[in-house]
Structure 1
């Protein structure tokens, strides 16, 4: 961890200067939907991420304070309602310079093992670290938020393997969640099979867990589009995350 961040941490959560918050948040324009009290809570959660998680740069990648704070802010969004306890049981965040290449092996129907390199933007390991690729502003893929995606997977894994049904907070119905997400996932799969354009990245059709993670990205990155395409899913995520970005943006525009 960098020396400046060490001084911030001390024995307590980091005391981050206002100008640092402003500089980093300016590079995350999708955070503009936040109301003043929501931004204050997000910052509090982000300092908790910095205090309780261990950041590592892969392949000697040098992380700076702005990078770590940007990751912490985005990681805090999915637990805005749930709190940091939702991320208990693991500590590592490993950041790669650019895309991540992970060796894979698969056995086909004939029993033949195929080995290959899988190039990914991120990966969450159950009870293990979160792997993230870092792209500068020019190299970051449009409409993609790998941090939110992988931390949504972490929430999904909290009750076992990722299946698109994370542990829900009190007052939310498992049956209603399964109904709304199941219907939307099936509709997306039909669109993808027919070669039709989709609001969500077609990768969301790979598995219900990917649908949840991709929908979580869209909830924060393109909330009004997600609400228009999948209103029931949007409503479930608004309750789960404790935020309503689309409504906030509409109030700002009126």
Structure 2
């Protein structure tokens, strides 16, 4: 009885979100035109993405910094990209927080870090995105518009992949596996493929001679920044899965298959899923 009642309330909330946050046809078509990597979705997939985007807008609170004017175009573009990874999963993966903060461009992050000797340092660096555990997602609008698919870069997908990774604790490159979506994929299978791929990529980057570094950094499908931590490798590879799926599958077929199974999407259309999509 309680389950039926909960489902009824969820349906009512969804219907209200689709009414109150309906996306104008002109705005939606302009959004799709600016996100060419969505071309792998069929009409039904795009319709689901549109509905999910409306529900996302109903659940999250957008704000800006440095006097940036928030527009519907900005909100819908960011929301659509955020919803792509969970299109065949659920917005429940983004529960527990509400804020999306948009800066005009890169912003400064200040952190306290402890080195190997136990000495604490205050550091700061420029960032195009940041995801806080239990807190907001912060994005550079300048970077969020870099969506032409010329490379695998996508700051929105990157930061929302971190949010998914944080669902079972500190981001570590091992996102939660849910039986209803991911079986028979299990933690050991994930570790066997993902950890091995991460180690191999780190070895590959470490082996690049200094004189060839600039060219490697320019030509590498996976940003060398991904070696910083397994959580960054997961987020960067998530970008590649959706933005450059054919190239990602060709270069890292086993890793592509793993992430395609996790997100329950096969954007390269190589039959990487075990079973039908919803």
Scaled by the length of structure 1, the TM-score of the pair is 0.87
SS of the equivalent of 2:262 reads: helix
Corresponding residue for residue 141 of structure 2: 134
Question: Which residue does 2:213 correspond to in 1?
Answer: none
Answer whether contact 2:36 2:147 (CA < 8 A) is retained: no
In the alignment, what sits opposite 1:178?
191
Of 21, 44, 47, 2:51 maps to: 44
Cα displacement (A) at 1:110? 5.7
Distance across 1 between alignment mates of 2:166 and 2:116:
28
Answering whether residue 86 of structure 2 is matched by residue 79 of structure 1, we say yes
Within 5 Å, give how 1:29-108 maps onto structure 2.
29-108=36-115
Change in CA separation of 1:40 and 1:224 when aligned onto 2, cut-off 3 Å = same
1:223 is aligned, of 239, 245, 263, to 245
Aligned residues: 240
Match of 2:154 in 1: 145
| CA distance 1:68–1:174, change in 2 (3 Å) | same
SS of 1:79's equivalent in the other structure is coil
1:205 CA drift (Å): 1.0
1:238 is matched with which residue? 260
The answer on whether the counterparts of 1:55 and 1:92 sit within 8 Å (CA) in structure 2 is yes
Deviations 1:211-243 (A, max 9, x none): 100000000110011111211111111111121
5+ unaligned residues in a row in structure 1: which ranges? Answer: 1-8, 249-254
Task: Assess, with a 3 A threshold, how the Cα gap between structure 1 residues 160 and 110 changes in structure 2: closer, same or farther.
Answer: closer
| Aligned partners of 2:37 and 2:243 also within 8 Å | yes
**Aligned CA-pair RMSD:** 2.3
Taking a change above 3 Å as real, the CA distance of residues 205 and 109 of structure 1, as seen in their structure-2 partners, is closer
Runs of at least 5 residues in structure 2 that lack an aligned partner in the other structure: 1-13, 210-215, 271-278
Map residues 157-172 of structure 1 onto 2, 5 A cutoff.
157-170=166-179, 171=183, 172=185
| TM-score calculated relative to the size of structure 2 | 0.80
Contact kept? 2:152, 2:221, Cα under 8 Å: no
Structure 1 position 27 matched with structure 2 position 27: no
Residue 112 of structure 1 deviates from its aligned partner by: 5.1
Q: Provide closer, same or farther for how the CA distance between residues 100 and 139 of structure 1 changes in structure 2, counting only shifts above 3 A.
A: farther
* Distance in 2 separating the partners of 1:111 and 1:126: 24
- Distance in 1 of aligned mates of 2:128 and 2:121: 22
Change (3 A) 1:100 1:234: same
